[in-house]
Amino acid sequence: MVNDKNQHNWITFLSNFESDNKDFIVALSSRHPELTKSQFQVCLYLRSGFDTKSIAEALDLSIRSVESHCYRIRKKLELHHNTNLGTYLYSIV
Protein backbone atom coordinates (compact mmCIF):
# COMPACT_ATOMS: atom_id res chain seq x y z
CA MET A 1 0.00 0.00 0.00
CA VAL A 2 1.25 3.49 -0.88
CA ASN A 3 0.04 4.93 2.43
CA ASP A 4 2.06 2.38 4.42
CA LYS A 5 5.16 3.28 2.41
CA ASN A 6 4.64 6.99 3.10
CA GLN A 7 4.09 6.29 6.80
CA HIS A 8 7.30 4.25 6.91
CA ASN A 9 9.20 7.02 5.09
CA TRP A 10 7.86 9.60 7.56
CA ILE A 11 8.86 7.51 10.57
CA THR A 12 12.35 6.98 9.13
CA PHE A 13 12.71 10.69 8.36
CA LEU A 14 11.44 11.71 11.81
CA SER A 15 13.79 9.30 13.59
CA ASN A 16 16.80 10.68 11.73
CA PHE A 17 15.67 14.29 12.08
CA GLU A 18 14.89 13.95 15.79
CA SER A 19 18.36 12.67 16.65
CA ASP A 20 19.89 16.01 15.62
CA ASN A 21 16.95 18.36 16.16
CA LYS A 22 15.15 17.32 19.34
CA ASP A 23 15.27 20.88 20.73
CA PHE A 24 13.72 22.25 17.53
CA ILE A 25 10.84 19.77 17.65
CA VAL A 26 10.10 20.65 21.28
CA ALA A 27 10.38 24.39 20.61
CA LEU A 28 8.16 24.29 17.52
CA SER A 29 5.55 22.18 19.32
CA SER A 30 5.44 24.46 22.35
CA ARG A 31 5.53 27.76 20.42
CA HIS A 32 2.98 26.70 17.83
CA PRO A 33 0.66 23.99 19.17
CA GLU A 34 -1.98 25.13 16.65
CA LEU A 35 -0.13 23.48 13.76
CA THR A 36 -1.83 20.43 12.30
CA LYS A 37 0.08 17.17 11.89
CA SER A 38 0.55 17.85 8.16
CA GLN A 39 1.71 21.41 8.78
CA PHE A 40 4.14 20.15 11.42
CA GLN A 41 5.52 17.61 8.94
CA VAL A 42 6.00 20.32 6.30
CA CYS A 43 7.86 22.46 8.85
CA LEU A 44 10.24 19.61 9.66
CA TYR A 45 10.95 18.96 6.00
CA LEU A 46 11.52 22.69 5.39
CA ARG A 47 13.88 22.84 8.36
CA SER A 48 15.79 19.93 6.79
CA GLY A 49 16.28 21.88 3.59
CA PHE A 50 13.70 20.12 1.40
CA ASP A 51 12.13 22.18 -1.37
CA THR A 52 8.43 22.18 -2.22
CA LYS A 53 8.74 19.48 -4.87
CA SER A 54 10.73 17.18 -2.56
CA ILE A 55 8.22 17.68 0.28
CA ALA A 56 5.36 16.87 -2.09
CA GLU A 57 7.07 13.64 -3.13
CA ALA A 58 7.93 12.65 0.44
CA LEU A 59 4.40 13.23 1.72
CA ASP A 60 2.65 12.04 -1.46
CA LEU A 61 0.99 15.43 -1.97
CA SER A 62 0.69 17.74 -4.93
CA ILE A 63 3.05 20.69 -5.10
CA ARG A 64 0.00 22.94 -4.79
CA SER A 65 -0.99 21.20 -1.53
CA VAL A 66 2.45 21.83 -0.07
CA GLU A 67 2.24 25.48 -1.16
CA SER A 68 -1.17 25.74 0.54
CA HIS A 69 0.26 24.22 3.72
CA CYS A 70 3.08 26.78 3.66
CA TYR A 71 0.61 29.61 3.18
CA ARG A 72 -1.54 28.44 6.10
CA ILE A 73 1.54 27.90 8.28
CA ARG A 74 2.69 31.47 7.58
CA LYS A 75 -0.76 32.76 8.56
CA LYS A 76 -0.85 30.74 11.78
CA LEU A 77 2.65 31.87 12.72
CA GLU A 78 1.70 35.45 11.84
CA LEU A 79 4.81 35.91 9.73
CA HIS A 80 5.27 39.17 7.86
CA HIS A 81 5.07 38.68 4.09
CA ASN A 82 8.76 39.59 3.79
CA THR A 83 9.80 36.85 6.24
CA ASN A 84 10.86 33.58 4.64
CA LEU A 85 9.24 30.57 6.32
CA GLY A 86 12.41 28.49 6.08
CA THR A 87 14.47 31.29 7.61
CA TYR A 88 11.99 31.59 10.46
CA LEU A 89 12.13 27.84 11.11
CA TYR A 90 15.94 27.94 11.17
CA SER A 91 15.75 30.71 13.79
CA ILE A 92 13.95 28.43 16.25
CA VAL A 93 16.49 26.97 18.69
Tens of pLDDT along 53-83?
Answer: 999 999 999 999 999 999 999 999 999 888 9
Count the neighbouring beta carbons within 10 Å of the beta carbon of residue 2: 7
Tens of pLDDT along 3-45?
Answer: 777 788 888 898 889 888 889 999 999 999 999 999 999 999 9
How far apart, in Å, are the Cα atoms of 26 and each of 22, 46, 52? 6, 16, 24
- Match domain 2-91 to its CATH number in 3.40.50.2300, 1.10.10.10, 1.10.357.10, 1.10.287.310: 1.10.10.10
What residue segments make up the domains of the chain, in order of their start? 2-91
CA of residue 88 relative to chain centroid, distance: 12
Indicate the pLDDT class of residue 1, thresholds 50, 70 and 90. very low
